[in-house]
Structure 1
């Protein structure tokens, strides 16, 4: 089939899809809406034809003409229906029809997205007006601001004492913490606190286990009824840490992964079992669900997390400067204070380049995991109530004991 015919068919399909949804809401009689399935199909073909005949300028003229007609229709029916959705959708359909001549897959996807938004009108209105609170909307806007405005303008280079702080990467961890906290909040609203926080912890750990522990501690600090689910989420985040550790080792050096496989399996099993224990405790406890928290995240707790992490990084850099680089063990241990995966990648790279035997990779990687666990333990103690730290710390110790014990047994 000729590509032009195929692209025109895509444009027609977009118009029919969006128009079918509008036809259902068009109504009947003199008060019906001005545009239905035929109008939208013709509008999409008009955009495609304009693009085919006259390229961009003619498409702009066609879009302007349809916009004028849509404005006139709105002016006539504004008393019965003050909304502008149909008129805006009609103009967008013309543009999507033109886009189908150049990028049909993108145009088709956008057409489906528009149809879904139009069809989900009732659910979206109920969610925004009846489910989301004003505070949740404000927190969402704050998250958008720190992610889309602040993060892109921060310098992505080392600055400060010892060149240890990278503002972009540090702020990225703040964004991850806010996202994990938001994930936990959404999980609580959708499936309840007992199941929501463990699930959020497990998923959030793939972004940052340290950030997840900080978020879970803040959640438990704000609501004591969520202590057991928050502990479960914090420990289950370490399952993701172990899984990512295996992934980065395998991607960098398969020999390193083979050398550390017993320790990885034992540590992951310990994290999973301990997390499941607290998840069961959360489910078998008081069956009354805690009321949804008013805020998605706590800005003060997030600021404290960022300052604490920056202090840990600076202390690590200072120790390295004072005592020098005593070899890969010291380097891995220092790197682990900030990120266990950074230490693992560093060691695995040495193995891949032939500078370190594979059977000697376990010790520095486990040292990095240990120092990273120290950072997590400190954050658990600072971010949450004492009961949170008392619940998380034994799990972290159990993970380390399993990893070190399996490595010793396999050596």
Structure 2
């Protein structure tokens, strides 16, 4: 640490307190001077107090009890601050301890700014201020939150952070096997997409919600979103809106594939961009056709059921895992020589994997590479249409299937034309 760094770090500690203090002072800005426990000046001093405690701690000779100064000052400060806040609470009948906790955290961030990671301390202060400033939106969110939504969120968190780390990542079986962690990760992805769709419908209303969820799902996995919408349609959801959401996901997926392929191998642009862009436009036009007169405001949206059904999510995840296993088995039979066939098979479950694999091949023939990626996209489009029919039922399957078929025809014609022009 050079001679100027302690001054800089202490200044940051004060700035941390100042940042938090602005929010605390603003919230009690109508109180008369001397009627608030802590405002902008007090919190700036709290940050400096933490920084000064850190400087004193760092100046002590080695061998003593580490942290004794920081801990001692913290306990004394917390006791005094809590006492004054208690007196204010008695006078105003306000029993919130938020300011007390905020002051304690500000002190600790001040210490961290001096003796620890400066960036982490600054980021923590910004996060603390954002949480304090979000009181009203957070309270409204909790008031509107239903038990079903809370339960589903807890289940999703438990799936992600409790169960997933316990599952073995090593695959079992031939042809690369099946990994329990990979299957469970698919279930988490499907559940998360369903939950995002549920929230989107609650926020934007029926119609807009499905379209927003489709756009978000297309960035992650259009196949997973199509399967999730198909399952909702089978449970009685609006087939037109859900099919439109799946079409939007398909449109975004086409664009994502175009960006990925051309970004990795720019020479593919002349052959792949025309069919993929036309395919994206075709899917978007199909979604617009399905949504004619079906946009509702949030308060007009019909009651929504469970954000996701865990049993249904697991069934779809196992289905996708089985498809992936079949693709790997077929790939081992075809071998690397059948690049187009293998890409088409891989596209049944994941276009990105096929795109990255093809563009990463050494001495790639542009015509063969373009054909392989186009085959993966076409196979994925056909596969999603079949999934929609099998899982979503006749109405959802027919609506999504018509859009997929028209898009596939337009895209194929554009690909053949661009391939012929490219020579």
Question: TM-score with structure 1 length normalisation?
Answer: 0.88
Q: Secondary structure at the match of 2:10?
A: helix
Check conservation: 1:198, 1:279, Cα contact below 8 A.
no
Partner of 1:4: 6
Check conservation: 2:202, 2:298, Cα contact below 8 A.
no
Q: How far has the Cα of 1:288 moved from its partner?
A: 8.2
Q: Secondary structure at the match of 2:178?
A: coil
Partner of 1:63: 74
Q: How far has the Cα of 1:276 moved from its partner?
A: 2.2
Quote the Cα distance in structure 2 between the aligned partners of 1:382 and 1:83.
55
Is the alpha carbon distance of 1:324 and 1:38 closer, same or farther for their aligned partners in structure 2, counting shifts above 3 Å? closer
Partner of 2:412: 404
Partner of 2:279: 267
Which runs of 5 or more structure 2 residues have no equivalent in the other structure?
59-65
Check conservation: 1:156, 1:167, Cα contact below 8 A.
yes
Partner of 2:62: none
Partner of 2:328: 317
Partner of 1:21: 23
Q: Does 1:48 align with 2:60?
A: no
Quote the Cα distance in structure 2 between the aligned partners of 1:65 and 1:288.
52
Check conservation: 2:358, 2:369, Cα contact below 8 A.
yes
Q: Does 1:148 align with 2:161?
A: yes
Quote the Cα distance in structure 1 between the aligned partners of 2:122 and 2:336.
56
Q: Does 1:122 align with 2:122?
A: no
Partner of 1:255: 267
Is the alpha carbon distance of 1:313 and 1:386 closer, same or farther for their aligned partners in structure 2, counting shifts above 3 Å? same
Is the alpha carbon distance of 1:220 and 1:32 closer, same or farther for their aligned partners in structure 2, counting shifts above 3 Å? farther
Check conservation: 2:215, 2:245, Cα contact below 8 A.
yes
Q: Secondary structure at the match of 1:90?
A: helix
Query: Which piece of structure 1 moves more, 50-59 or 239-248?
Result: 50-59
Q: How far has the Cα of 1:286 moved from its partner?
A: 11
Q: Does 1:277 align with 2:289?
A: yes
Select the residue among 394, 398, 408 that pairs with 1:390.
Answer: 398
Partner of 2:63: none
Select the residue among 265, 284, 295 that pairs with 2:306.
Answer: 295
Quote the Cα distance in structure 2 between the aligned partners of 1:343 and 1:409.
23
Check conservation: 2:255, 2:277, Cα contact below 8 A.
no
Q: How far has the Cα of 1:16 moved from its partner?
A: 2.4
Is the alpha carbon distance of 1:258 and 1:52 closer, same or farther for their aligned partners in structure 2, counting shifts above 3 Å? farther
Q: How far has the Cα of 1:145 moved from its partner?
A: 1.2
Q: How far has the Cα of 1:305 moved from its partner?
A: 1.0
Check conservation: 1:174, 1:302, Cα contact below 8 A.
yes
The alignment covers a number of residue pairs equal to 405
Is the alpha carbon distance of 1:118 and 1:325 closer, same or farther for their aligned partners in structure 2, counting shifts above 3 Å? closer
Select the residue among 230, 241, 245 that pairs with 2:257.
Answer: 245
Q: Secondary structure at the match of 2:70?
A: helix
Check conservation: 2:340, 2:368, Cα contact below 8 A.
no
Quote the Cα distance in structure 2 between the aligned partners of 1:2 and 1:261.
56
Quote the Cα distance in structure 1 between the aligned partners of 2:366 and 2:335.
25
Q: Which digits, 9 at most, give the CA deviation of each residue in 1:158-202, with x for residues without a partner?
A: 333422423333333322222221221111111111211111101
Partner of 1:219: 232
Is the alpha carbon distance of 1:113 and 1:2 closer, same or farther for their aligned partners in structure 2, counting shifts above 3 Å? same
Q: Secondary structure at the match of 1:361?
A: helix
Select the residue among 152, 155, 165 that pairs with 2:178.
Answer: 165
Quote the Cα distance in structure 1 between the aligned partners of 2:334 and 2:13.
67
Select the residue among 109, 119, 124 that pairs with 2:123.
Answer: 109
Task: Provide the aligned C-alpha RMSD in A.
Answer: 2.9
Quote the Cα distance in structure 1 between the aligned partners of 2:305 and 2:78.
42
Q: Secondary structure at the match of 2:292?
A: helix
Question: TM-score with structure 2 length normalisation?
Answer: 0.86
Q: Does 1:370 align with 2:400?
A: no
Is the alpha carbon distance of 1:35 and 1:198 closer, same or farther for their aligned partners in structure 2, counting shifts above 3 Å? same
Query: Which piece of structure 1 moves more, 401-410 or 316-325?
Result: 316-325
Q: Which digits, 9 at most, give the CA deviation of each residue in 1:99-150, with x for residues without a partner?
A: 2234444323322222222232232112102x11011011111111112223
Query: Which piece of structure 1 moves more, 206-215 or 286-295?
Result: 286-295
Q: Which digits, 9 at most, give the CA deviation of each residue in 1:288-325, with x for residues without a partner?
A: 83324132222122112111111212222343456666
Quote the Cα distance in structure 2 between the aligned partners of 1:323 and 1:198.
39
Quote the Cα distance in structure 2 between the aligned partners of 1:25 and 1:246.
49
Q: How far has the Cα of 1:215 moved from its partner?
A: 2.1
Q: How far has the Cα of 1:70 moved from its partner?
A: 4.0
Query: Which piece of structure 1 moves more, 105-114 or 84-93?
Result: 105-114
